[in-house]
Chain A
Amino acid sequence: MRQRLTALSPFLYLLPALVALAGVLGYPVLDAVWTSLKHSVPTDPSADRFTGLANYRAIFGNGAFWTALGHTGLWALANLVLQLTIGFGLALLMHQKLAGRALFRSVVIIPWVVPSVVVAVIWRYLLDPTSGPLNQLLMSTGLTQEPVLWLANQATAMPVVILLSVWKWTPFVAVILLAGLQAIPEELHEAAMIDGAGLWGRLLHVVVPGIRTSLTLASLLTIGYSVNNFNGIWLFTQGGPIGATETLTTFAYRKAFTEFDFGSAAAVAVVLFAGLFVVSTAYFFSVEGRKGRKL
């Protein structure tokens, strides 16, 4: 009896945390699913009723939803590719024993530690068509005659918000990859060099396999953060101009807080959650599975 209690005790200790976790994470998800099956419009509370899949039918029949879905894919993919490649490069640089390494590391991390709202204020000022330094520079050097409306132009808005998101989040990826780099034993490099591996060979056969776990983690987090990065778009363009940067999160927000249609907004959120769950799980297992075979 005593023995069994001891066996169970770690889980008993975990119980309060698990309950809290279920309350904080589980309940909102279930509530979102439930809301998505209802006609839930706060300005019309008397009409609250269960409508089954009507909200899903409505959003799937809405062209704007599919446009937003496409933008979400583009946004996440661009963020993933750019953040991983640039982050990897930065991590390699930060890993070198160079003069001023500590300073370099602190500087690289700055964009990530600055709050999103502050990032938005800074960049919106820099990009401002009338008073922003970037446009003044472009015009004073004669590169453009008219100010470029970076965030209000349908062609430039999406690339610009992607670059700003990459600017903000790449340091985070770099730090994760740096941790991975630092975990590779020096002996492996030495052994590879003795076997005649050059810089490229070591990168391919020592570094990349060595940081695979970090790469997986960084990719998963980047996909998750990007798809759900509402601030990175809303604070700059609110999904505009005319939907050019509308992703599923801004679409859901507009459904909820401009149209006050909580049911449809919840349906979008559930679709987003399900999609992300599938993508992340598939990615996780494909990478982990490969590792398993190798071991």
Chain B
Amino acid sequence: MRPRVEGRLPGLLQAKASRRGFLIGAGSIGLATAMAGCGSGGSGGSGKNGTLTIWASTTFVPGGDSALSKAAGEFGTKNDVKVTVQGFAANDLINKITTTLSGGGGPDLVIVDVSQVAQLAAAKLLADLTDRVTPIKSQFFPGNIAAATSEGKIYAVPYDTSNVALFYNKKMFEKAGISAPPTTWDELRSAAKELTGGGKYGYMLGAKGYGSYLYWPWLWQNGGQVTSPDFTKATFDSPEGLEAWQFYADLYLKDNVVPPTFLGVTDSWDQFLQPFMTETVAMMPMGDFGIAPLTKGNPKLEYGVAPMPKKVQSATVLGGNAVAVTKAAKNADLAWKFTSWLTSAEQEKVLEEGYKRIPARTDITGSEFAGKDPARAVFVQQAATAVSRPPVPNWGAIEWGVMADAWDSVIQKKKAPADALKAAATDSTAKLTKK
């Protein structure tokens, strides 16, 4: 007997249609990660001598014809290597790298934020470059090398360096009768108070991870440390740390010198610098990467850049990116050749001209590029002494997890600053010792 196919099929389809609803739903967590934006640019030579794939954030690869892609293409043509450069949204890059490399695929090289090198190294996704980097180590700023070092081994070569300095609005300062940018905490607080009023504010803060990232300079300026020297215990809730945290939080909670809209700064530095750009805020802590968007967004803005204010000492937080060879690189020598070429003195122009970023090489000090812009000069000067955050595998979970939550609970007035910080230190210690 022939089965009644015609009669059965619609029923089958119907059942499938309704089941799709929740099955698709169950996969949506994966989908959300896959939706990460991705711009790519292929470039290079014949491929006779192999292929190289490089993943970087959209900072370096905003589109197909980025300066990095062009440089990589140059390398490819010269060496007969087919080079592909792909860009991913900064927030997704690390997830993408981790999942793809863990799954056995992935790029030969990655350019990542220095604070993420240790995590990738701990995940055993990066090649140990200690022997190759050691001979050229002195060419880079020590803070950047420290950030690329995990448990005594070097896993990446510093690419660009950045740090945080104090941006101030010259016109607003003049109007308030303040002649020079503040150099100490007390000066900063009183200047911020002077500059606040009539819808204008003295100082800018951020929420979430922007809050925790910008706390470290205060901690170090007050003589505190993030962790114990062996990275097993969080020590940022020391008396120095508590005092710094309280001062930092009080800028908003007590002094009211921060625009309340900072609570919404959760996603990007563009959001963070907007009130300063529109002259609603007179001072903000910001990296050198803030210069380009400020110039573009408000060319008439008259601002200056000064070193961060000091308490018992000067200190600022080190950022930037580093180039690492992954475990997926089949030709490690070729990958290294590209890495050392990209980070060489000859290629500094890629960062300088293509991105207006500061190369992490010590020879940048006193260079024409460093001197051309007085704002940049401050960042270059601070580059030698900027402090790197602890190179620990769980750093992301501490800075963007525990500490971000602690900061938010303070600025959302759910917890007293001291209680939040102490609890965060306990949680962070647990993360540092977690196995």
Which A residues are closer than 8 A to B by beta carbons? 6-7, 10, 25, 28-29, 42-47, 117, 128-131, 146-147, 149, 151-154, 216-217, 220-221, 223-225, 227-231, 234, 237-238, 240-243, 249, 252-254, 256-260, 265, 269, 272-273, 276-277, 280, 284
Contacts and interface: CB of A to CB of B under 8 A. Distances in A.
Q: Which 9 A-B pairs have the closest CB atoms?
A: A228-B25, A224-B21, A129-B261, A152-B264, A224-B25, A228-B28, A152-B263, A43-B393, A224-B22
Given A149-B264, A152-B207, A45 B124 contact: yes
Nearest to A153: B263
A43 B123 contact: yes
Interface string B3-35: 101000100000001100111111111111101
B412 A129 contact: no
A2 to B, nearest CB: 12
Interface stretch (B62-70, B152-160, B167-175, B394-402): B394-402
B397 A259 contact: yes
Nearest to A29: B26
Nearest to A220: B21
Interface stretch (B272-280, B299-307, B328-336, B372-380): B272-280
A124 B267 CA distance: 11
B29 A230 contact: yes
B137 to A, nearest CB: 25
A44 B29 CA distance: 22
Interface of B: 1-3, 5, 9, 17-18, 21-33, 35, 37, 95, 98-99, 102, 119, 122-124, 207-208, 259-261, 263-264, 266-267, 274-275, 278, 280, 393-394, 396-397, 400-401, 405, 408-409, 412, 414, 434-435
A7 B5 CA distance: 9
A40 to B, nearest CB: 10
B408 A240 contact: yes
Contacts of A272: 26
A28 B207 contact: no
A47 B32 CA distance: 28
Contacts of B35: 117, 231
A131 B401 CA distance: 29
A231 B408 CA distance: 22
Contacts of B95: 257
B29 A269 contact: yes
Nearest to B101: A42
Q: Which residue, A25, A131, A224, A273, has most C-beta atoms of chain B within 10 A?
A: A224
Contacts of A240: 207-208, 266, 408
A29 B31 CA distance: 14
A249 B29 contact: yes
B204 to A, nearest CB: 12
Contact of B3 (A10, A29, A154): A10
A45 B123 contact: yes
A161 to B, nearest CB: 14
A147 B274 CA distance: 15
A258 B434 CA distance: 15
Nearest to A248: B29
A10 B123 CA distance: 48
Given A152-B207, A260-B98, A269-B29, A43 B122 contact: yes
A149 B261 contact: yes
Given A6-B2, A238-B266, A273-B26, A253 B280 contact: no
A25 to B, nearest CB: 5
9 contacts: A25-B23, A25-B27, A42-B102, A45-B124, A220-B18, A238-B208, A240-B266, A258-B400, A272-B26
Contact of A10 (B5, B28, B278): B5
Contact of A241 (B30, B33, B99, B207): B207
Nearest to A154: B412
Contacts of A46: 124
Nearest to A117: B35
Nearest to B91: A257
Nearest to B274: A130
A63 to B, nearest CB: 13
A240 B401 CA distance: 12
A44 B122 contact: yes
B274 A131 contact: yes
